[in-house]
Amino acid sequence: MDDLVAARATMAFSLGFHIIFAAIGMTMPFLMSVAHFLYLKKKDPVYLGLTKLWMKGVAILFAVGAVSGTVLSFELGLLWPGFMQYAGPIIGMPFSWEGTAFFLEAIAIGLFLYGWDRMSPWVHWTTGLLVGVTGFVSGIFVVAANGWMNAPAGFDWVNGVAQNVDPVKAMFNRAWPHQSLHMQLAALQAVGCAVGGIHAWLYLRGVASDLNLKALRIAMVIGASASILQPFAGHIAGESVAELQPAKLAAMEGHFKTSRHAALTVGGLPDVETQTMKWGVELPGLLSLLAHRDLNAEVIGLDKYPREDWPPVLIVHVAFQVMVAIGSAMALMGVLYFWFVRRGKFPRWFLWVVVACAPLGVVAIEAGWVVTEVGRQPWIIYGLVRTKDAVTPVPGMVYHFGLFVVLYLCLAVATVWLLRRQFRTVQQKFGG
């Protein structure tokens, strides 16, 4: 493993770890706030117990997310000085605003954790809601910075130097709206369905049935709603990628030859050597329609780009197919959820479906970030700076990678242990 691959692996592992906790940090406070709201309205002690259960989870996961997010910030400077040389002065604004949102989130969570019986109930509830709002805003600013890497804006590129910098235009770049919408919905979808799946499993086992059924309903309203909306957000994102990063779209779809009435290939594996798709099912004209709203529109293929500018086609295509397959399955599950809500009863088989879907949203988030980041290669700033030119010249990156894998695994084990401990406390209180 050379230093470039090791640096990329370190960043990928760090981001893949942190994104889970970032999604949880954006979504769990809203679940907690809904449970708290219902307690204040109905005075049902089960909702109070659920609020405090989720509150403790939010506190633990907030701490882990803060640590892993801080590490990512340092890694940008340590591993990619060539990137920060250009990007630092341009995208400093979203990072500074993200830091402000994180600071407010930390204050809000402190007030909520220690504000019980010390402030008005509804003021206390508001501090919990603010934890979710500020976490959501923080995520939006981070995605704005990533969007700039995919669609750089807000400067003039003159002889390899960024001039006339406009940080506002840089932050509100053209990739930001669709990436932000797609990611925020993905967080709601993944965490809502994961929490719903966990409580469905506990309910099926007869553990604290009343608490877990109430928790299931709260979590799945958010998770199922986001699952239904996500395919539409994904379509908007696909249209934007077709316009802003056609090489990425071509890799996502395994589209080698520029053509009109381009076919959408479902499944299959791209063969880069023969520049063909194997074992896929072709749907004529559908790629043109989805990318450009016209069955006969031209879709740019990889043949329009030098081979050295191609993303890793196989990785991007497989990750994209995984994301789309999971998104479609979870959208169907979301529709079924509201169907059974309307009927007033959840069949046991459907609850097992919810359990099976619990990890899928997280897998889809990871696959989506693979598409976003690997699909941009070989560029770290799309079309301007190559990844290999941005990596640190300091040797020994493989040791750095190994150290971070060990540290993150230890952090993951500690997190699971703490969460299990909190769950056992609630289980003892509410029975099972």
pLDDT tens digit string along 160-201? Answer: 777 788 888 888 888 898 898 999 999 999 999 999 998 898
1-15, 230-244, 365-379: range with lowest mean pLDDT:
1-15
For residue range 269-299, list pLDDT tens digits in order.
898 888 888 888 888 888 898 888 888 888 9
Q: Whole domain around residue 184: which residue ranges?
A: 3-160+174-258+300-430
> Exposed, middle or buried, 237 (CB in 10 Å: 0-12/13-18/19+)?
buried
Q: How many Å apart are CA 187 and CA 20, to the nearest integer?
A: 8
43-47, 61-65, 116-120, 380-384: range with lowest mean pLDDT:
61-65
Question: Within a domain: residue 264?
Answer: no
Question: Within a domain: residue 66?
Answer: yes
> Quick check: helix, strand or coil at residue 378?
coil
Question: For residue 430, what pLDDT is reported?
Answer: 55
Mean pLDDT for 195-222 is 87
Question: Within a domain: residue 117?
Answer: yes
Question: For residue 39, what pLDDT is reported?
Answer: 92
pTM of the model: 0.89
Q: Which residue has the higher pLDDT, 49 or 69?
A: 49
- Flag whether pLDDT at 13 surpasses 80: yes
Q: Which residue has the higher pLDDT, 86 or 380?
A: 380
Confidence at 62, pLDDT banded by 50, 70, 90: confident
Q: How many Å apart are CA 366 and CA 318, to the nearest integer?
A: 12
Question: Within a domain: residue 411?
Answer: yes
For residue range 324-343, list pLDDT tens digits in order.
999 999 999 999 999 998 88
Question: Within a domain: residue 276?
Answer: no
CB count within 10 Å of CB 274 equals: 9
Residue 91 DSSP one-character state: S
Q: How many Å apart are CA 102 and CA 335, to the nearest integer?
A: 34
Question: Within a domain: residue 187?
Answer: yes
Question: Within a domain: residue 277?
Answer: no
Confidence at 425, pLDDT banded by 50, 70, 90: low
Tracing tokens 């995208």 back to the chain, one arrives at 91
Question: Within a domain: residue 86?
Answer: yes
C-alpha distances (whole Å) from 133 to each of 184, 205, 420 are: 12, 34, 27
Mean pLDDT for 13-38 is 88
The terminus-to-terminus CA distance of the chain in angstroms comes to: 50
Question: For residue 330, what pLDDT is reported?
Answer: 93
How many separate domains does the chain show?
Answer: 1
Mean pLDDT for 215-235 is 92
Give the 3-state secondary structure percentages of the chain, helix then strand then coil, rounded to 5. 75, 5, 20
Question: For residue 390, what pLDDT is reported?
Answer: 86
Kindly give the interhelix angle for 360-374 and 176-204, rounded to the nearest 10 degrees.
160
What are the b/e assignments for 118-145, b being 16+ CB within 10 Å?
A: eeeeeebbbbbbbbbbbbbbbbbbbbbb
Question: For residue 154, what pLDDT is reported?
Answer: 84
Mean pLDDT for 109-123 is 88
Confidence at 428, pLDDT banded by 50, 70, 90: low
Closest CA to 371 of 330, 311, 328: 311
- Flag whether pLDDT at 21 surpasses 90: no
Mean pLDDT for 296-319 is 91
Question: For residue 229, what pLDDT is reported?
Answer: 94
> Exposed, middle or buried, 161 (CB in 10 Å: 0-12/13-18/19+)?
exposed
Question: For residue 187, what pLDDT is reported?
Answer: 92
Q: Cα angle at 415 between 329 and 64, to 5 degrees? A: 90
